[in-house]
Structure 1
Amino acid sequence: MGRGVAVAVVAAIALVSCTGEREAAERDGFRAGSVDLGDPYVPGSGNGGYDVDHYRLAVRYDPADDRLTGRAEVTATATQGLSRFNLDLAGLEVSSVTVDGARARHRQDGGELVVTPARGLGNGSRFTVEVAYAGVPGAVADGVLGNGGFQHTDDGAIALGQPHSAATWYPVNDHPSDKATYDIEVTVPDGLAALSNGVPGERTSADGWTTWRWAERSPMASYLTTLVIGNYRVENGSHAGKPLVTAVPAGLPATGAEAASLARTGEIADFLATRFGPYPFEAYGGVVVADARIGYALETQSRPVYGPGFFRTGEPNYGVVAHELAHQWFGNSVALARWGDIWLNEGFASYAEWLWEEHDGGRSAQRNFDLQYAATDWSRPTLDPGPGQMFGNAVYKRGALTVHALRRTVGDDAFFEILRAWTTERRDGTATTDDLVTLAERVSGRSLGPFFAAWLTGTTPPTLP
């Protein structure tokens, strides 16, 4: 038999074998999980067939060579009979995968880690995946909010970004509809800080390396995870009986605008709690970074990260702190089921800026509403704005107009009852705009479909309530 014929025969046998295995698995009730959750705003992100319950991450990062090594333990529940499933992972090489302790076949296909367990996973079964991986992590150029992902800095690294960042440093089901709890362990050279989400744990040192530990026990969307590594002045305090951890670059003055802004974190969170209901997490905090590539602030859960541009005037910026803290309720505790509803995050957080400004002696919420109403381009929709406008004014400012218009329409008592019901009933979950409309109608006793249509998607200025 010629070599070409032999290769063809082997390939045909392999194809028949794979086809047979697939058909047998499907007959037995097992099939591959989907490789994309179908969200048009983030094509290719997220995976189907399972829900993640918990991530246990242990990573080691050396800024000297920009190399990260990691081990991820992902505990999940199958939502169908699974013959194989995917995790999102970009730019890092996987050396081994096990499922429930048994070696699993794996391959990497672009930003997908494809895992085939030794045996099928039954619908409803709980399973644990362990992944060992390493490499030089990279950034993600989304072109909307700005660069995200894992970015090397002069003194360390920053892992941050929306809607993408998590898959650049650990294997993940990378969509906010699949929230999970986290244990995060970060080992860095002595002298560097390694900040992340949630409650700080024991810090240990050995052989020139320090391990920082963090635990987030409330479900968290993957894009809300962060790592900030470098030379930072870390303040460990407490507020309302919970840890309050803040950090600013070590080179900034202890009395500068950055530290002064973070110093009011607890006070601002307490004010927002009077409007939105109890603060939803077990820790508070904030981190200011110095890298100018971070041109945004992000509501990373329990510990927002603020880019340097918000403090360039040298004056404290309490508005951005109020915005990111408001996200702890709107966007974090109550997360998006789909990215097209992002105004649920940004509209309410922008409105929180108006509420805080009024409380802090500045312009009233009504005055801000009047000014923004006159300046708004009504041709751009707030709901489902399109991937290129996820972070546009229509989402933020027109979203805030919608929130205040709802307040004027239903009255203060019903309005704040709606907000507190939303953050209570949807706590630790996900939601859509339709869910908000349903709740607002139930609480107010009014039909609000036409109202939301006019304020969220209408193309002409809505009639003022």
Structure 2
Amino acid sequence: MLLTPRPSVRRRRLLRAAVLAAASAGLVAAALPAPGALGIGDPLFPHLGNPGYDVLAYDLDLTYPGRNTEPLKAVTGIEAVATEDLGHLNLDFTHGTVGAVRVNGEPAAYTTSGEDLVITPEDRIDAGDRLRITVTHTSDPSGPAEAGGWVRTSDGLAMANQADAAHRVFPSNDHPADKAYFTFRVTAPSDLTAVANGQPVDRTEQGGTTTWTYRTAHPMATELAQVSIGRSKVVHRTGPHDLPVRDVVPADDEKLLEPWLRKTPEQMAWMEAKVGRYPFENYGVLVADAETGFELETQTLSLFERRLFTDARFPAWLVEAIMVHELAHQWFGDSVTPRRWSDLWLNEGHASWYEALYADEKAGQSLERRMKAAYAASDRWRSAGGPPAAPEPPSPGEKISLFRPVVYDGSALVLYALRQEIGKDAFEELERRWVVDHKDATAGTDDFVRLAGEIAGRDLTAFFRAWLYGKKTPAMPGHPDWRSAPVTAAKPG
């Protein structure tokens, strides 16, 4: 995710991982308590995710009524495997009405607790059992855009589920630690176009409606799911290695946006030269006529506000750099997904790093000058939001407040310091190894620290402890003259 820059203000700045793997990281409770709201113990989102099972695949069937103010009819199918004996299981779900639940084809009792759907199947589930959970429900697009989930556009809907809003759209194990494969079936009036993550596999028309089916070829975190419904044009081209590139734009804006869209293949080639081959089956830009306040790296189909490309006050180099930011996330955050939300710095720090490096190489916007400015602000950012790998929880009712400057340029600054510390060659080897070793999986800060030490040939624990967890910004290697501005106490109101 990248917060959309405001022209008048200086720029400000988310193969499936098994629940068993999360358990080894201390995230999963040993056994399920009595029915109630659960969570896998993520420090920043303690009620997200659910222990006791691992989701393998989601099958989402959505029927759009033609108006983005009315709930969609939906059926969510979940294939999972139990990782422990279960008398009941929880799904994250809110902002919709449940009509029925089945487990392995049999009706199951259900209730709600907080933002959990608590399911009690007729037969107890044993560890190792395969599960097929089917929930018939509605999916409600009403509510403020900042709450996440469905985003109402001028002609339909799109999704923005980061960080904890996928369960406002469909029942799920809504934590990035449990990635899964997705199939989407979207039925809408035939004068509209529906697009989702992954590849198109079917399209059928019946009466005045069309059902569009898409399927991912790689596992995906729930927060990266994307469905767009509207009067859209799908523009096709090819990227490196003949990779399919499909952009989804308002139909009337195709010619207006084409100068930006055609930049994507070159941007992809630039990223591949830095970190290796693009990790997914296709890519594209989704331009939504809505004001969200951010751009979002939904897997294979990054979400952008229309105004980013149409407001002439945004300089061209900045627009392109932001496009690269979301593209970089396809490697850092989407293919390699954070094990817990405090690992967010690995997503946003890397995306901001490549955004800044692209602007440096392509537009002469000095990387060193940007990092020096970030260093000057770093102590203030740490004081306001915590250090990069131990951010403060988001403000109540303002989940987007997790996305503070310290996780953007404050975290890119850590990568700059690391490159200064271990050298450019070792740093570039680390980047390439990271996205290969953890492709389609989840990884955390400890994994990155361990790999960096292996490549550097020395223990970097103390270096990372200071840079990632310190209240004060350490001295910058190679730049002893850099200073961080002192933190001043807020004036009484």
Q: State the TM-score, normalizing by the size of structure 2.
A: 0.82
Distance 1:103 1:348 in 2: 46
**Offset of residue 339 of structure 1:** 0.7
Cα deviation 1:138-180 (Å, max 9, x = unaligned): 4467xxxx34112333321222131122112211000010100
1:97 and 2:101 matched: yes
Say which SS state the counterpart of residue 118 (structure 2) adopts: strand
1:453 and 2:452 matched: no
Moved over 6 A (4+): 29-34
1:62 and 2:65 matched: yes
Distance 1:161 1:260 in 2: 28
Say which SS state the counterpart of residue 356 (structure 1) adopts: helix
- Corresponding residue of 1:400: 412
Letter in structure 2 aligned against 1:241: D
1:384 and 2:390 matched: yes
**Offset of residue 438 of structure 1:** 0.8
Distance 1:158 1:410 in 2: 42
Q: How many residues end up aligned between the 2 structures?
A: 430
Say which SS state the counterpart of residue 210 (structure 1) adopts: strand
User: Which of residues 333, 336, 345 in structure 2 aligns to 1:334?
Assistant: 336
Does the Cα contact within 8 Å between 1:52 and 1:75 map onto a contact in 2? yes
**Offset of residue 259 of structure 1:** 3.5
- Corresponding residue of 1:214: 214
User: Which of residues 425, 429, 442 in structure 2 aligns to 1:413?
Assistant: 425
- Map 1:19-418 → 2, pairs under 5 A: 35-64=38-67, 66-134=70-138, 136-139=140-143, 146-239=146-239, 240-252=241-253, 254-256=254-256, 258-292=257-291, 294-314=292-312, 316=316, 317-378=319-380, 379-380=382-383, 381-388=387-394, 390-418=402-430
**Offset of residue 414 of structure 1:** 0.9
Cα deviation 1:415-463 (Å, max 9, x = unaligned): 1111111111111111111111111001111221222223223333422
- Map 1:8-23 → 2, pairs under 5 A: none
**Offset of residue 31 of structure 1:** 7.2
**Offset of residue 364 of structure 1:** 4.0
**What's the C-alpha RMSD, in Å, of the aligned pairs?**
2.1
Say which SS state the counterpart of residue 302 (structure 1) adopts: coil
Which ranges of structure 1 fall in alignment gaps of 5 or more residues?
A: 1-28
Distance 1:120 1:423 in 2: 40
Say which SS state the counterpart of residue 91 (structure 1) adopts: coil
Say which SS state the counterpart of residue 41 (structure 1) adopts: coil
Say which SS state the counterpart of residue 52 (structure 1) adopts: strand
Structure number having the greater strand percentage: 1
Distance 1:140 1:248 in 2: 23
Max Rg structure = 1
Say which SS state the counterpart of residue 280 (structure 2) adopts: coil
Say which SS state the counterpart of residue 360 (structure 1) adopts: helix
Q: Which has the higher contact order (CA 8 A, sep 6+)?
A: 2
Does the Cα contact within 8 Å between 2:153 and 2:289 map onto a contact in 1? no
Cα deviation 1:62-118 (Å, max 9, x = unaligned): 133622111111000111011110111112222221111122222233422111112
Which ranges of structure 2 fall in alignment gaps of 5 or more residues?
A: 1-30, 395-400, 478-493
Cα deviation 1:256-291 (Å, max 9, x = unaligned): 3x4432322222122112212221111111101111
